[in-house]
Amino acid sequence: MTTYSRFQQGMIRVLGSVLLVMGSALVGVGCEREGPVEKAGKQVDQAVEGAKDKLNPEGPVEKAGKKVDQAVDDAKGK
């Protein structure tokens, strides 16, 4: 078993903390914008949903749920 000095233990904690903060920052920055491919994918998804709805109409509860989902997405800025 390896024993570390207090200095080494402190450095390990500092490096671990720095890596954690930097990783969190990268994840946060990467999720802010959506590119043209993602926008096109959402349009395709909406088109598929529209076609599916014509083949199998949904009830009033499903329609209300989709409106709530859409309002939440709009409020988040998606």
At 31 the pLDDT is 62
78 Cβ contact partners less than 8 Å away, ≥ 6 residues apart: 34
At 29 the pLDDT is 63
Residue 3: pLDDT over 60: yes
Dihedral of alpha carbons 27, 32, 46, 65, sign: positive
pTM: 0.36
Cα separation of 1 and 29, whole Å? 40
Q: Tokens 């096109």 identify what position?
A: 40
At 41 the pLDDT is 87
Residue 72: pLDDT over 80: yes
Residue 6: pLDDT over 70: yes
* pLDDT tens digits, 7-30: 888 888 888 888 888 887 776 666
